[in-house]
Amino acid sequence: MAHPSHDEHPHVPGPSLWPVGFAVGIVVLLVGLIVSWYVAALGAILALVFGFLWVRDLTAGTQLTEAEEVAPEGAVTVVESEELPPEDPADRYPRSKFLEISTLGLGAVIGGLVTVPVLGFMVAPAFLKQGDKDHDLGPLNDFTEGKFIITTYMTNPTQGAVSRRTAFIRNNGPLNGVPDFTVISNRCAHVGCPVQPGGPVFQQQEKTVTTKNGKVLITPVLPAAGFICPCHGGSYDQEGNRIAGPPVRGLDRYDFAVVNGRLVLGNLYSVAKVDGAGKTAKIHKVELHGPGQHVDGPESWLYPVQPPH
């Protein structure tokens, strides 16, 4: 006579370190994608081996135990009707189930602890320290007071022409005992084309200055008509305010500092508009935006968060 078993749960494997090994393999694989293909291959092998062992244990746990009695072939099993004893609350949540959940939970926690920092190191550089490095443009004597100078330099000479930048710089004279400058980017606020001065460029007077950041080309210019974009007809005055054409705002500007008698450029920032001119100008400064992005008015609501620059 066969008696029904009160515990019909399948056998569940005990705690295992295979999930931890699998997580370590994934971490080594991700690190290898940055460091070396050999390290990535090692991580892939570790992940495959430990993943196979982990899956094997889980699939083995689905087999029923062989402790159940099997009736002989041809025999008739008679089950007597009897009142079953009340179910023990512990049977509804057996120890094996608790160990299974604990093992998987612990493996997930450990995997997260070793994986999240690595992912952080991989992703964080795309969002941190994206501003331009301070760049030495040379002594103040190269920037005549009241005159515009076209200044061309490379933010990273090892990268070549792709790092070339151009700024229109005017020495406004002293302000509260400190030299003041207008430093305007040549990137059009429409789609980013290079803006040109609306006046003669005195190339015969250009010269190259060598600084600690590399070579800087400075060329005197007289932008009597402000600055003009040759691509789509955008037009700006000498303070960078938009006066005509499709640009949505004024030209961007650079932060600057005077260090030991030399002009040093900092990060770019965007400008909604400039009231006044020269050293007395009031600049409505905002966070750096991309070309074509509004910085004021209802249209600016479409750009609540800016990507890293």
| Same-domain status, 189 and 222 | yes
Please give the structure tokens belonging to residue 101: 């959940």
Looking at residue 132, its pLDDT comes to 60
How confident is the model at residue 162, as a pLDDT? 87
4 part of a folded domain: no
Q: Can you give the pLDDT at residue 233?
A: 92
CA–chain centroid gap for 256, Å, is: 25
Residue 76 — very low, low, confident or very high, per pLDDT cuts 50/70/90? low
Shared-domain flag, residues 70 and 152: no
Are 76 and 177 in a shared domain?
A: no
Quote the pLDDT of residue 160: 83
State residue 77's pLDDT score: 54
pLDDT at 64: 44
- 307 within a domain of the structure (yes/no): no
Q: How confident is the model at residue 179 (pLDDT cuts 50, 70, 90)?
A: very high
Q: What percent of the chain has pLDDT over 70?
A: 77
pLDDT at site 159: 83
- pLDDT value, residue 75: 54
* 200 and 264 fall within a common domain: yes
Cβ-contact 265, 134 below 8 angstroms: yes
Are 165 and 271 part of one and the same domain? yes
End-to-end CA distance of the chain: 79
CA gap 298, 150 in Å, rounded: 35
User: 260: alpha, beta or left, given left = phi > 0 and alpha = psi -120 to 50?
Assistant: left
Same-domain status, 86 and 24: yes
Residues 240, 177: Cα–Cα separation, whole Å: 25
Range of the domain at 82: 18-126
- Residue 235, in any domain of the structure: yes
Confidence band for 69, pLDDT divided at 50, 70 and 90: very low
Of the given ranges (79-93, 191-205, 218-232), which has the lowest mean pLDDT? 79-93
- Picking from 59, 92, 126, the residue at the C-terminal end of a domain is 126
**Of 56, 91, 126, which one is at a domain's C-terminal end?**
126
pLDDT of 1 higher than 90: no
Dihedral class, residue 177 (left if φ above 0, else alpha if ψ from -120 to 50, else beta): left
User: Is 1 among the domain residues?
Assistant: no
Residues 143 and 289 placed together within one structural domain of the fold: yes
How does residue 144 score in pLDDT terms, banded at 50, 70 and 90? very high
Domains identified in the chain, total number? 2
Last residue of a domain, one of 126, 158, 185: 126
In a domain, 308, yes or no: no
- CA–CA separation, 203 vs 198, rounded Å? 15
* Cα diameter, the chain: 113
Give the residue with greater pLDDT, 211 vs 72. Answer: 211
More confident residue, 8 or 201: 201
| Rounded average pLDDT over 114-137 | 70
For 48, the token pair is: 């495959």
Domain membership flag for residue 5:
no
Q: Pick the more confident residue, 66 or 151.
A: 151
The percent of residues in the chain predicted with pLDDT above 90, rounded, is 46
Query: Do 293 and 145 share a structural domain?
Result: yes
Return the CATH number at 160: 2.102.10.10
Give the pair of three-digit tokens for residue 102: 């604990």
SS3 (DSSP) at 115: helix
